[in-house]
Amino acid sequence: MLCEVGIFLVLVGNKYQVCWIKDVFADSLCAELYDPETKQRKISGLIEAMNRFSLFNGLIITENDEYDEIIETNDKKYDISIKPIWKWLRMNVEL
């Protein structure tokens, strides 16, 4: 929960518009994506949010995972970046 609040504060502080859809954040957070069920749930929820706002780029913030994935579904391509929280914070917080 602490990570979610921290990320929320960084987004709001950087003037991002933040909203939730049925507990789905347009950018998603999870500890790891090793479990196929967790990965599928996070990606499905993110794609649902991306469709709602006509977005094609999404982000999942994890503890340590980092890679990009292109998901093709329903004749659409979604570019999803998976980033570790420490790297995302370094890119988004001014010290």
Please count the CA atoms within 13 angstroms of the CA of 67 that sit on its side-chain side: 8
Q: Please give the tally of structural domains in the chain.
A: 1
What pLDDT is attached to residue 70? 96
What pLDDT is attached to residue 29? 60
Neighbouring C-beta atoms of residue 79, cutoff 10 Å: 14
Q: Record the pTM.
A: 0.76
Count of all residues that appear for the chain in the document = 95
Contact 82, 62 (CB under 8 A): yes
| Structural domain of 74 | 2-92
Residue 92: pLDDT above 70? Answer: yes
Q: Pick the residue with more confidence: 92 or 78?
A: 78
Residue 87: pLDDT above 70? Answer: yes
Residue 67: pLDDT above 90? Answer: yes
32 pLDDT band, cuts 50/70/90, is confident
